[in-house]
Amino acid sequence: MNDPTIFRKPNNRKLDVSEIRKDFPILQTSVKGNPLVYLDNAASSHMPQCVIDRISEYHLSEHSNIHRAVHKLSEEATAKFEESRTIVKEFLNARDEKEIIFTRGTTGGINLVAKSYGEKFLREGDEVLISHLEHHSNIVPWQMLCQKVGAELKVIPVTQEGEVDLEEYKSMLSTKTKFLSLTHVSNALGTVLPIKTMIKEARSYGIPVLVDGAQGVPHMTIDLRDIDCDFYVFSGHKMCGPSGVGVLYGKEELLNKMDPYEGGGDMILSVTFEKTLYNKIPYKFEAGTPPIAQAIGLGRAVNYLQSIGLNQINQHEKELLAYATKRLDEISGLTIIGRSKHKAGVISFVMDGVHPHDVGTLLNDKGVAVRTGHHCAQPTMQRFGVPATTRASFYLYNTISDIDQLINGIHSIKKIFD
Amino acid sequence: MNLYQEVILDHNKKPRNWGTLSNPTHQAEGLNPLCGDRIWLMLEVMDESIVDIAVDGESCAICKASASMMTLSVKGKPLKLAEELTSVFRKMVLGEHNESDESQLGRLKIFQGIKDLPSRVKCAVLPWHTLQAAVNSQGRISTEGSDDPISS
């Protein structure tokens, strides 16, 4: 396929955002007569034309079921699906393709681990540790597990800046701690957690660690051998890929010890009514027909991000964050929630006398898309004493002018509510 | 239609019948967990009529203005009429009302435009929903879950 974007080579120069924007047709949308300013990337990012084309090409000429039939289409679809697994493996610097499991998303991956690892290895009196910055998807599965096996869920506190309290964390680790599950980046506040330091501490107790990378993978270079976690999960639709697909990385040794998650086709070697022999990893955890088109689209999204360069994207987002922070700080009556020195391109704020939902509706009138609410992180909101915030989150195609539009929108809201 | 008109902004800034009653006969709490709206509603009912009403709490402008305007519409009115008005209001914000309903709504028609903002419909309905909960002695209701006023 003739796709210029996959021949684009990353370099050390700044991103050419105006060129990048041409790759994303949806950015031409207008909202109420205004050009769309999309600042809700932490919820879902957009797909470049090359990913849309790749998915379309699959449906036009490759669509079939995988790992089954001997006919041409099935063999091609299988090859492309497995090729995506290799692309993802190399992208994350994992050791082997069998450590890459396709899921339906981050939530699916966490539930898989909570069930297949947690229910097998955790017992009454054990402790599961999470942070106060987790998304509901990294709280509820552990709560369900704890209720089921009689374990206790413990929460690492966060500071007023929105950072994990490392001293508290260290004091909470003990021989009773049997699992640590942490977000890489807080979706509500943007805090980047010091996961390497935290994992090192957990290692001295032999505690397995899952990292929720839904907000990590899209925005920074991930080297799983360097991070050295046991599990890492993320979603396709926050990294220029389609929804409906995600990845669970797991260390081979642990995946082999775990029970299957769902039963069905593809996860078996043989089935009789008396006994079923399970397939080897990764297939043991991929029961039923997987999201084939989506996985292939995700592979193309990874290639696209690689062609731009994750370090370049990260640097670009840092510049946007610094500018947005400066401009928002100039507005009286506006408070940014989360002041960590280590933040991704996410900025959450509240305004005196204006509820975030009113902010969101009125910004939409100006074409600016932000997220308002509790961001599926109600405990984080409670920690900071707010029911909800307005959140702007950036990606590779956002510009300084996008932030200016946001700021103009906020000023007009202030006028309305004065 | 711009939802944030003068009337709504005015009621948001200076909500009417805001506060508490010293001798309520009925009360309920209304929650919208999705956006964190939380209101408390108190009623003084005598002879099947709303003698007094007060609302308090934290909410977005749409919810607060809706609550404020609701108190003006139902204060001094029979419970039966308040119930009818709740049903008509609910129909209006879902875009299901007809001409005869419109005459009953009066100034509440300002909330018509909200039918184009599905994510905000619950903000406008919450006060009415809480009013019914108070009348039915439900104590506490939420826009989510089994007592969601919109999905039923």
Give A261-271 pLDDT, tens digit per residue.
Answer: 999 988 989 99
Minimal C-alpha gap between A417 and chain B (Å): 7
Query: Residues of A numbered 69-98 whose beta carbons fall under 8 angstroms of chain B's beta carbons: which are they?
Result: none
Question: Among partner residues B58, B61, B123, which is closest to A387 by beta-carbon distance?
Answer: B58
Distance CA A89, CA A84 (A): 8
Residue pLDDT, tens place only, B121-146: 999 999 999 999 999 987 777 777 76
A53-306: CATH class: alpha beta
Q: Which residues pair with A249 in a beta bridge?
A: A100, A232
Minimal C-alpha gap between B1 and chain A (Å): 11
Q: Which residues pair with A155 in a beta bridge?
A: A130
Minimal C-alpha gap between A328 and chain B (Å): 21
Amino acid at A26: I
Pairing mode of beta strands A346-351, A389-393: antiparallel
Degrees to nearest 5, angle at CA A19 with A13 and A24: 125
A64 burial level (CB within 10 Å; 0-12, 13-18, 19+): middle
Which residues in B78-104 are b (16+ Cβ under 10 Å) and which e? ebeebbebbebbbebbeeebeeebeeb
Statement: residue A2 has pLDDT above 50: no
Pairing mode of beta strands A209-212, A231-235: parallel
Residues on chain A touching B33 (C-beta within 8 angstroms): 378
Q: Which residue of B has its CA nearest to A372?
A: B35
Q: Look at the domain B9-141 and name its fold.
A: Sufe protein. Chain: A (3.90.1010)
B8, B32, B35, best to mutate vs chain A, most A CBs in 10 Å: B35
Amino acid at A377: A
- Looking at A165-169, A229-233, A261-265, A331-335, which range is the least confident one? A261-265
> How confident is the model at residue B100, as a pLDDT?
79
B34·A373 Cβ contact <8 A: yes
The CA distances from residue A271 to A116, A274, A275, A285, A408, in Å, are: 20, 8, 6, 16, 63
Question: Among partner residues B2, B13, B60, which is closest to A355 by beta-carbon distance?
Answer: B60
Enumerate the domain spans of chain B. Answer: 9-141
Q: What is the mean pLDDT of chain A?
A: 95
Residue pLDDT, tens place only, A19-77: 999 999 999 999 999 999 999 999 999 999 999 999 999 999 999 999 888 899 999 99
Distance CA B89, CA B66 (A): 10
Distance CA B6, CA A394 (A): 34
Output the six-digit token pair for A230: 């046991």
Contacts of A322 (CB under 8 A, 6+ apart): none
Distance CA A353, CA B13 (A): 9
Enumerate the domain spans of chain A. Answer: 4-48+309-417, 53-306
What percentage of chain A carries pLDDT values higher than 70? 97
Residues on chain A touching B118 (C-beta within 8 angstroms): none
DSSP codes of every residue in A292-337: HHHHHHHHHHHHHHHHH-HHHHHHHHHHHHHHHHHHHHTSTTEEEE
A358·B117 Cβ contact <8 A: no
What's the whole-model pTM score? 0.93
Residue pLDDT, tens place only, A281-315: 999 999 999 999 999 999 999 999 999 999 999 99
A352 in reach of chain B (CB within 8 A)? no
Q: What is the ipTM of this complex?
A: 0.86
Residues on chain A touching B123 (C-beta within 8 angstroms): 357
Residues on chain A touching B3 (C-beta within 8 angstroms): 361
Residues on chain B touching A381 (C-beta within 8 angstroms): 36
Confidence of residue B150 (pLDDT cuts 50, 70, 90): low
At how many degrees (to 10) do helices A356-365 and A400-417 cross? 120
Are A3 and A50 contacting, i.e. CB atoms less than 8 angstroms apart?
yes
Pairing mode of beta strands A246-250, A231-235: antiparallel
Distance CA B137, CA A340 (A): 46
Which residues in A188-217 are b (16+ Cβ under 10 Å) and which e? bbbbbbbbeebbebbeeeebbbbbbbbbbb
Are A187 and A136 contacting, i.e. CB atoms less than 8 angstroms apart?
no
What percentage of chain B carries pLDDT values higher than 90? 64
> How confident is the model at residue B138, as a pLDDT?
78
A354 in reach of chain B (CB within 8 A)? yes
Residues on chain B touching A362 (C-beta within 8 angstroms): 4
Residue bearing tokens 């950072």 = A163
Long-range CB contact pairs, A10-18, < 8 A, 24+: A10/A306, A10/A307, A10/A308, A10/A309, A10/A311, A10/A312, A11/A309, A11/A312, A12/A312, A13/A312, A14/A312, A14/A315, A14/A316, A15/A308, A15/A312, A15/A313, A15/A315, A15/A316, A15/A396, A17/A316, A17/A396, A17/A397, A17/A398, A17/A399
Minimal C-alpha gap between B39 and chain A (Å): 13
Query: Residues of B numbered 81-100 whose beta carbons fall under 8 angstroms of chain A's beta carbons: which are they?
Result: none
> How confident is the model at residue A83, as a pLDDT?
98
Domain range A4-48+309-417, its CATH number among 3.40.190.100, 3.30.300.10, 3.90.1150.10, 1.20.970.10: 3.90.1150.10
> How confident is the model at residue A1, as a pLDDT?
45
Active site residues of A: 376
Minimal C-alpha gap between A387 and chain B (Å): 5
Contacts of A176 (CB under 8 A, 6+ apart): A125, A126, A127
Q: Which residue of B has its CA nearest to A364?
A: B117
Distance CA A123, CA A146 (A): 9
Confidence of residue B119 (pLDDT cuts 50, 70, 90): confident
Q: Which residue of A has its CA nearest to B11?
A: A417
B60·A362 Cβ contact <8 A: no
Closest of A112, A118, A113 to residue A147, by C-alpha: A118
Amino acid at A205: Y
A374 in reach of chain B (CB within 8 A)? yes
Distance CA A230, CA B74 (A): 60
Residue pLDDT, tens place only, A311-357: 999 999 999 999 999 999 999 999 999 999 999 999 999 999 999 99
